[in-house]
Chain A
Amino acid sequence: MQKNLEKYSPALLVIGLLLIWEFICRAFKVDPFILPMPSAIWDSLIEYRGPIATHAWQTFWTTMVGFAISVVVGILLGSLLGSSALIYRACYPLLVGFNSIPKAAFVPILVVWCGIGTTPAIITAFLISFFPIVVNVATGLATLEPELEDVLRALGASRVEILRKVGLPRSMPFFFASLKVAITLAFVGTVVSEISASNAGIGYLMMSASSSLKTPLMFAGVIVISVMAMVMYEAFALVEKSMTGWAHRGQQTNG
């Protein structure tokens, strides 16, 4: 009984909060233009399911393309930074500086360069999500135990071999942990760009719903985007678990 309660408690909490929300809206007769009831949001989800699905798909694949570029660039740049102390020191301040720029500020520039549509959204998703991957891969590589490196170097292993046999496998837990963070950020990037520079995607859908005063549809958009980001987060959490079990199992047996 206790176990079941623990297992279902997250779902119960969500249902509870929705019920309270619905109750408050009804009890205080909140204007649906300000805050629609969950039931109204649900209705508009059903009503507009066709366009929502189209726009959601657009947002989804845009994010995935941006994220895929992030992963490739993140691994390459992270490996480069992590395997050389000199490059690490040279690039790190620049990367931190770049990361502190709000990526939304790039969107107008990207529009000038590539016009509106999918391209700026992909680039924004990439820009916002590659940083955690770079830092995590670089950290994983840079914290390699010097003795372990000596063992391999004494065998005559080349830098590339050390990277392949030890560096990269060792940084996998860092890498997969960063994927979870990066995928959620990538969704943020896509939506931000779609809001101001696109004719498709959930971001665009919400903007047009806003201008036609369809508040429930805007909330429906928020829900769709958060469900997509959550599902992807969980998917990468699963991948992380199955790929790098060795990094977590150690604590379980000892603790």
Chain B
Amino acid sequence: MSTKFIDFDHVWLKYNPQSDFAIEDVSVGIGEHEFVAIVGPSGCGKSTFMKLCTGLRPPTQGTVIVDGREVAGPLKITGMAFQAPNLLPWRTTLDNVLLPLEIVEPYKSTFRAKRKEYVDRAMRLIETVGLKGWEQKFPWELSGGMQQRASICRALVHEPKLLMLDEPFGALDAFTREELWCILRDLHAANPFTVVLVTHDLREATFLADTVYVMSKRPGRIITTRHIDLPRPRDLDVTYTAPFAAIVAELREHIGALRKH
């Protein structure tokens, strides 16, 4: 993890000239295949951080380097999933998962010719997240948790180097959430990619991430960087151990201190 995959160098961003900075003076280095979580109070610029990473927004000051190049426009090496699954209601689960392959090169130009191969790949992913048998169903026939699984498949089907997750488990019940944590953990372990996970849930951040960044209220700054040294592979049981609880409590303290101001 010595080479930095994502490198923010004193990045500032405001959405329009009149407004305040959404994030200020953010410098972070994220290694390749690192799993990073960003936590903080709501409105702290976590989503802004994501937009900068993916090139959806250029920084006002500073530079963002991803994969060795300065970010100038939308990157094609990312996959994204949000709190809302955002599936296309006129497509089946399988067709929803296939969507990125219809857009990103080199899959786009070979989509017709290699359709069978791509369908197989999508089906493998669908099976991994436990949606086998639902691939021909439409989104409205799926529960919220199932839709979110499909959304994660869609984010990963084109084998992105960078996976951006914006509170993807926020709207799910506790059991489904923990199940999806494990699925995400296994996917990351099996076929490494860099992950930036934005979340409110400190247990989620601690369980999944290698490094947790705590951001302050608007304007967002990184106030703490916490490396999670719990050994991998982590089992769900680890969330009930004393070291785990200590880390969560420590992060909680930082956020608590922020809320007092």
Contact = CB atoms under 8 A, between A and B. Distances in A.
B104 A156 contact: yes
Contacts of A145: 84, 86
B99 interface: yes
Interface stretch (A39-47, A146-154, A176-184): A146-154
Q: Is the interface of B mostly helix, strand, loop or mixed?
A: loop
Nearest to A152: B103
A144 to B, nearest CB: 11
Contacts of B99: 165
Interface residues of B, number: 27
Nearest to A254: B140
B165 interface: no
A166 interface: yes
Nearest to B54: A154
A166 to B, nearest CB: 7
Contacts of A150: 51, 54, 56, 80, 82
Interface stretch (B37-45, B71-79, B207-215): B71-79
Q: Is the interface of A mostly helix, strand, loop or mixed?
A: helix
B86 A148 contact: yes
Interface string B108-147: 0000000000000000000000000000001011000000
23 contacts: A147-B84, A151-B80, A151-B82, A151-B154, A152-B103, A154-B74, A154-B78, A154-B80, A155-B79, A155-B158, A157-B103, A161-B103, A165-B99, A165-B103, A166-B88, A169-B88, A169-B90, A172-B90, A246-B90, A246-B138, A249-B140, A250-B140, A253-B140
Interface of B: 51, 54-56, 74-76, 78-80, 82, 84, 86, 88-90, 99-100, 102-104, 138, 140-141, 154, 158, 164
